[in-house]
């Protein structure tokens, strides 16, 4: 009985020092030159709140633009313990963008990317989705996480004639999108 009580007290003492905060970067976004950072905090024994911000301020050669600023808060439920194992969640997303002058010729889930070749689009977006993910603990402070999400995004934009300085062709147009809303391989430091 004394051993059981000692083990129970030890477990309680260890949980007092449990990790409650994490900072992260999405390696997919890093590969696309998008500056990003995320922070996550424990809200309850199996719940965390994750908030990420992504910023791509660059204009590339030939005035190619894929500029965007977005935020994505996400509530997560962990099946085992926070910051370890399987989780599901729900996220919101929002942001602004300025895209154009890309030589693309494909349509993906109702979005015609070939229009980016001769036009520039400037607008904002709002959406929501659900996610599934898994986090692997590498050491006491380092982890890797994989996550995929699907959802809905509403976007409103202005369409311009050419990527450089063209006339406004359409104003306050809207677009509805349903499909992937999050894909991440995150490198994480847990405090």
Nearest alpha-carbon partner for 183 in 156, 158, 146, 151: 146
Q: List the chain pLDDT tens, one digit each, 191 residues.
A: 555 445 444 444 444 345 799 999 999 999 988 999 999 999 999 999 999 999 999 888 877 888 999 999 999 999 999 999 999 999 999 999 998 888 888 888 778 877 888 888 999 999 999 999 999 999 999 999 999 999 999 999 999 987 666 788 999 999 999 999 999 999 999 99
CATH number of the domain encompassing residue 79: 2.40.160
Q: Locate all alpha helices (DSSP H) within the chain, ordered by sequence.
A: 2-16, 27-31
- Please compute, for residue 27, the number of CA atoms within 13 A of its CA located in the half-sphere on the CB side: 9
What pLDDT score does 166 carry?
A: 78
Q: Is residue 39 part of a domain?
A: yes
Question: Does some domain include residue 6?
Answer: no
- CA 152, distance to chain mean position in Å, is 14
pLDDT of residue 15: 42
- Answer for the pair 94, 52: CB distance below 8 angstroms, yes or no: no
Q: Could you tell me if residue 8 is inside a domain?
A: no
In a domain, 82, yes or no: yes
Within-domain flag for 4: no
For residue 51, give its domain range: 20-190
Residue 7 is assigned to a structural domain of this protein? no
The total of structural domains in the chain comes to 1
Q: Is 15 contained in some domain?
A: no
Please tell me the distance from the alpha carbon of residue 62 to that of residue 145, in angstroms, as a whole number.
36
Q: Is 11 a member of any domain?
A: no
Contact in structure between 189 and 142 (CB atoms under 8 Å): yes
Identify which of 119, 113, 100, 108 has the alpha carbon closest to the alpha carbon of residue 161.
119
Q: Do the strands 111-112 and 85-100 form a parallel or antiparallel pair, or are they unpaired?
A: unpaired
62 — phi, psi (to 5°)? 60, 30
Give the Cα separation of 48 and 68 in Å (integer).
26
Beta pairing partners, 24? 38, 188
């Amino acid at each position: 009985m004394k051993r059981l009580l000692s083990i129970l007290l030890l477990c309680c003492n260890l949980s007092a020092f449990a990790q409650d905060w994490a900072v992260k970067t999405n390696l997919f976004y890093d590969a696309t030159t998008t500056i990003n950072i995320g922070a996550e905090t424990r809200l309850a024994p199996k719940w965390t709140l994750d908030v990420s911000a992504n910023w791509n301020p660059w204009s590339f050669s030939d005035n190619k633009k894929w500029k965007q600023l977005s935020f994505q808060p996400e509530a997560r439920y962990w099946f085992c313990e926070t910051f370890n194992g399987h989780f599901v969640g729900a996220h919101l997303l929002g942001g602004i963008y300025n895209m154009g002058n890309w030589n693309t010729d494909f349509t993906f889930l109702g979005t015609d990317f070939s229009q980016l070749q001769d036009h520039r689009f400037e607008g904002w977006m709002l959406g929501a989705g659900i996610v599934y993910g898994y986090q692997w603990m590498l050491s006491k402070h380092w982890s890797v996480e994989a996550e995929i999400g699907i959802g809905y995004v509403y976007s409103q934009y202005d369409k311009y004639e050419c990527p450089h300085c063209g006339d406004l062709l359409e104003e306050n147009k809207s677009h509805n999108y349903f499909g992937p809303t999050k894909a991440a391989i995150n490198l994480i430091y847990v405090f």
